[in-house]
Structure 1
Amino acid sequence: MAARLTAVAHDLADAARIETLKLFRSPDLRPDNKAAAGFDPVTAADRASERAMREILARQRPEDAILGEEFGATPGQSGLTWVLDPIDGTRAFMAGAPSWGVLIGLGDADGPIYGIIDQPHLEERFEGGLGIARMIGRHGTVPLATRRGVSLTEATLMTTYPEVGDGTEHAAFRRVADRARLVRYGLDCYAYALLAAGHVDLVIEAGLQAYDVAAPIAVVRAAGGVVSDWRGGPAHGGGRIIAAGSAELHAAALELLNAA
């Protein structure tokens, strides 16, 4: 069963690579704005990527549910749900920066059980869950393992946006950031991949959706990391997310996030 599911996931990632790379760094890229106020970009590549993945699932896993960023929810009967973000980091995609990714999560009633973070341009595929924790890349396959024994004052912390949510959320983030050795911004889902690979120690974000986090949760946990919301509870519904390379580092950062 697990082998069949992971084979389908790789088929999805392969199809999404084809569709996204058609427009990455292309002069034909023409983003649309989904937001009534502000800027929430979507491109033809986002839509084509998700459409291609849904077509595969319709053929190979018609009994499973789907939740996707661009085309919403499709019910299923198996108890399994595929959670798809066809391009996580559309702003990076627009800018030609290879820090976006395709997110493919698989979950049951209790949350994510398997995930892929795929970076098509770099040909890096981070996979975790169902007994797997590995990165498949140009130079072969390497195991994923988070970095252990790192204190907060030694940690590398990442988040996507410097403002990190509203004023209260930003203040909470700064309490952690002010203690960390290094803080970097802007990598979207690729930050979770680097955490799973042992290069980053903490990722803290706010305002996320379920399709932003399902795959990263599975990959980070498979690599030995800890992921929760800012209260220490389940994170797969989105919202405020903290991912850490170890339970000790997670606890130290969580205490600061919740310090009034």
Structure 2
Amino acid sequence: MSVRQTDIDLAHALADAAGAAIRPWFRAGAEVELKDDRSPVTRADREAEAAMRRILEAERSGDGILGEEYGERPGISGRRWVLDPIDGTRSFTAGRAIFGTLIALVEDGWPVLGVIDQPVQRERWVGAAGRPTTFNGAPARTRACPALEGALVATTSPHLFDDGDVPHFMALVAAVSGGYTRQGPVYGGDCYNYGLLASGHLDLVCESGLQFYDFAALAPIVEGAGGRMCDWNGDPLTADSAGHVLAIGDPARTEEVLEALRAAA
């Protein structure tokens, strides 16, 4: 699976278009609606995805598209663009600039190109198979984590986890905090946490209940920065993954993280 420079250039164009659609609505009182699954959506979400789809329909008419707001358009090329116009709509509506636009290119179910774009702070991570991850054009690298105890772990919220997953997450928190319950995880952040991990500011991100458009862009970014992305069993993330997601900055800690999650079983 190869990623062409034209693919990367197109991903940048998509992120630029989404950002232009989102920024006018940030802290501007965008009305919030609730979808059938009770998740929030705003006009900014819809306008950003529509802007990206217009570009893809013009530039890559044979590629498929999967977007959170407008569903799936089948393609004929074996490639699919996976879009989440605002990952972290709750943060967006609260005026917190820790949401992001997620753009992925997927081949045969495997993410090969990913973008996290924070349009307000104008921060952008780009990862592509066979290439190092960049942050605003400069190399990004995860940091070494010499021991699981003391690692800095983040999640958006355990309230978003699937039923029964919270005890496993709390077992991981106990392992990294060494019994000091005041040394808890970082909460909030959505996709922004994965960019921070790729840039060496976090050690672990643990989530549950994610959809493919929530995580497809993340694996190329984290892995291109030297980290590892997998599910809670240690398996790679693909279109068939169930939504249990781990990002591990230092792959040497992988087995310890998996063992900690299993400790609650």
- Compute the TM-score of the two structures, normalised by the length of structure 1: 0.93
Distance in structure 2 (CA, Å) of the matches to 1:51 and 1:231: 36
Q: How much has 1:164 moved relative to structure 2?
A: 5.2
1:177 alignment partner in structure 2: 173
Q: What does the per-residue CA deviation read over 1:49-80, in whole Å, with 9 as the maximum and x for residues that have no partner?
A: 00000000011111111110001111111111
Q: How much has 1:110 moved relative to structure 2?
A: 4.4
1:151 alignment partner in structure 2: 147
2:257 alignment partner in structure 1: 253
2:40 alignment partner in structure 1: 41
Q: What does the per-residue CA deviation read over 1:157-211, in whole Å, with 9 as the maximum and x for residues that have no partner?
A: 0001134524521000011101224511010000000010010000000000000
2:247 alignment partner in structure 1: 243
Gaps of 5+ in 1: none
- Which of 212, 215, 221 is the matching residue for 1:213? 215
- Which of 17, 25, 38 is the matching residue for 1:15? 17
Is the Cα–Cα contact under 8 Å of residues 145 and 203 in structure 2 kept in the other structure? Answer: no
Matches within 5 A, 1:1-260: 2-27=4-29, 29-35=30-36, 39-130=38-129, 131-136=131-136, 141-163=137-159, 165-181=161-177, 182=183, 183-236=185-238, 237-259=241-263, 260=265
Is the Cα–Cα contact under 8 Å of residues 212 and 238 in structure 1 kept in the other structure? Answer: no
Provide the secondary structure at the position in 2 that maps to 1:35.
Answer: coil
Distance in structure 2 (CA, Å) of the matches to 1:252 and 1:218: 23
Is the Cα–Cα contact under 8 Å of residues 42 and 90 in structure 1 kept in the other structure? Answer: yes
Q: What does the per-residue CA deviation read over 1:211-246, in whole Å, with 9 as the maximum and x for residues that have no partner?
A: 000111111011111111111113233511111012
- Compute the TM-score of the two structures, normalised by the length of structure 2: 0.91
Q: Which structure ranks higher in relative contact order (CA pairs < 8 Å, sequence separation ≥ 6)? A: 2
2:180 alignment partner in structure 1: none
Name the aligned partner's letter for residue 191 of structure 2: C
Distance in structure 2 (CA, Å) of the matches to 1:123 and 1:77: 34
Distance change (3 Å), C-alpha of 1:118 and 1:232? same
Distance in structure 2 (CA, Å) of the matches to 1:154 and 1:103: 30
Provide the secondary structure at the position in 1 that maps to 2:201.
Answer: coil
Distance change (3 Å), C-alpha of 1:145 and 1:70? same
Aligned residues: 253
Provide the secondary structure at the position in 2 that maps to 1:46.
Answer: helix
Is the Cα–Cα contact under 8 Å of residues 164 and 173 in structure 1 kept in the other structure? Answer: no
Provide the secondary structure at the position in 2 that maps to 1:57.
Answer: helix
RMSD: 1.4
Percent of aligned pairs with the same residue?
Answer: 43
